[in-house]
């Protein structure tokens, strides 16, 4: 993978793996543990101040490339917090292993980076309770309360939330054409939507066998980053797909009893 100019490398693997060998100059950072309960603006300001202190102490500045052994929760959660603070973040999920030969921990110069909280990324608990569409990106088992992850020892879900497992969002990106054989994802200030390193790829119909194995799949929705355009693939009984493109008005999704309003979806975005 061709690294962006002046990229800052961040290793999100466990500390022993980092110490056994990491990319030259890579900082170690894992933000998968914090469990924030944000209800008031004062708490959001405190989070912004904490991110500023973190960015400066580790010498972080855009662009930041995070790497791990695949698309792990460590990688995703750490990337979320860095992106939430306004950094341009890219993910490197494989192909870096042979280069991870450094054992010395770097001593980076502090940066003057100031965190700017991407407020549209984050809802307080009170705002979430009033939101008309909440998507629970945990597994179906977690959504149903059959298993209890550490973050939710009592199990259950927020009343009215819909289950949309995270892997559904990333599956198409991970199947996209590779850049020099090494896939990655990036997101940052813009609209916050992930895309493969090397730029967006033309949409492709989800005809791979992986989608067919998803139980209960009723629709596969692709939202464009470049224009007001939503593509919907619906599986047919004969194994094919019904394809439609919506570029204005509403995108009906009866399987989850909602409709997406394109004007609202793209409001404030440069498309």
Give the tokens for residue 217: 């799949």
- CB under 8 Å to 12, separation ≥6 — which residues? 28, 29, 30, 32, 66, 67, 68, 72, 74, 75, 78
- Percentage of the chain beyond pLDDT 70 is 76
pLDDT at residue 168 greater than cutoff 60: yes
Q: Is residue 92 part of a domain?
A: yes
Q: Is residue 134 part of a domain?
A: no
Q: Quick one: average pLDDT of 114-139?
A: 83
CB-CB neighbours of 220 under 10 Å:
20
The SS3 call for residue 63 is coil
* pLDDT at residue 190, as a whole number: 39
- Looking at 117, 147, 177, the residue that finishes a domain is 117
Q: Quick one: average pLDDT of 117-141?
A: 81
pLDDT at residue 48 greater than cutoff 60: yes
pLDDT at residue 153 greater than cutoff 60: yes
* pLDDT at residue 212, as a whole number: 45
Give the tokens for residue 89: 């973040």
Q: Is residue 37 part of a domain?
A: yes
Q: Is residue 184 part of a domain?
A: no
Task: Categorize the per-residue pLDDT at 217 as very low, low, confident or very high, splitting at 50, 70 and 90.
Answer: confident
- CB under 8 Å to 106, separation ≥6 — which residues? 25, 26, 27
What is the number of domains present in the chain? Answer: 2
CA distance linking residue 77 with residue 223, whole number of Å: 22
- What's the pLDDT tens digit per position in 223-268? 887 778 888 887 777 666 677 888 888 888 877 777 888 888 888 7
Q: Is residue 48 part of a domain?
A: yes
* pLDDT at residue 196, as a whole number: 37
- What's the pLDDT tens digit per position in 64-113? 999 999 888 889 889 999 999 999 999 998 899 999 999 999 999 999 99
Domain of 89, in residue numbers? 8-117
- For residue 57, the domain's CATH number is 3.40.250.10
CB-CB neighbours of 195 under 10 Å:
19
Task: Categorize the per-residue pLDDT at 7 as very low, low, confident or very high, splitting at 50, 70 and 90.
Answer: very high
Q: Answer yes or no: are the C-beta atoms of 186 and 180 closer than 8 Å.
A: no
- Looking at 82, 117, 152, the residue that finishes a domain is 117
Q: Answer yes or no: are the C-beta atoms of 247 and 259 closer than 8 Å.
A: no
The SS3 call for residue 116 is coil
Task: Categorize the per-residue pLDDT at 184 as very low, low, confident or very high, splitting at 50, 70 and 90.
Answer: very low
- Looking at 89, 117, 145, the residue that finishes a domain is 117
Q: Is residue 46 part of a domain?
A: yes
Q: Is residue 17 part of a domain?
A: yes
Q: Is residue 15 part of a domain?
A: yes
């Amino acid at each position: 993978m061709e690294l962006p100019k002046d990229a800052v490398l961040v290793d999100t693997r466990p500390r022993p793996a980092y110490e056994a060998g990491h990319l030259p100059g890579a900082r170690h950072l894992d933000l998968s543990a914090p469990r924030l309960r944000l209800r008031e603006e004062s708490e959001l300001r405190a989070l912004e101040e904490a991110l500023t202190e973190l960015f400066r102490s580790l010498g972080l500045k855009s662009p930041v490339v995070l790497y791990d052994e695949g698309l792990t929760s460590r990688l995703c959660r750490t990337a979320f917090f860095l992106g939430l603070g306004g950094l341009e973040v890219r993910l490197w999920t494989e192909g870096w292993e042979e280069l991870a030969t450094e054992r010395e921990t770097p001593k980076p110069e502090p940066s003057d980076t100031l965190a700017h909280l991407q407020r549209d990324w984050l809802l307080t608990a009170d705002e979430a309770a009033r939101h008309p569409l909440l998507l629970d990106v945990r597994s179906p088992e977690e959504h149903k309360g059959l298993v209890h992850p550490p973050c939710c020892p009592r199990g259950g879900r927020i009343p009215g939330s819909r289950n949309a497992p995270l892997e559904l969002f990333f599956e198409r990106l991970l199947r996209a054409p590779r850049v020099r054989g090494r896939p990655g994802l990036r997101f940052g200030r813009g609209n916050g939507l992930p895309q493969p390193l090397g730029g967006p790829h033309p949409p492709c119909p989800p005809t791979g066998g992986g989608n067919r194995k998803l139980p209960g799949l009723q629709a596969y929705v692709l939202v464009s980053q470049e224009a007001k355009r939503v593509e919907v693939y619906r599986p047919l009984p004969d194994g094919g797909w019904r394809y439609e493109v919506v570029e204005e008005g509403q995108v009906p999704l009866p399987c989850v009893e909602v409709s997406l309003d394109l004007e609202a979806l793209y409001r404030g975005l440069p498309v």
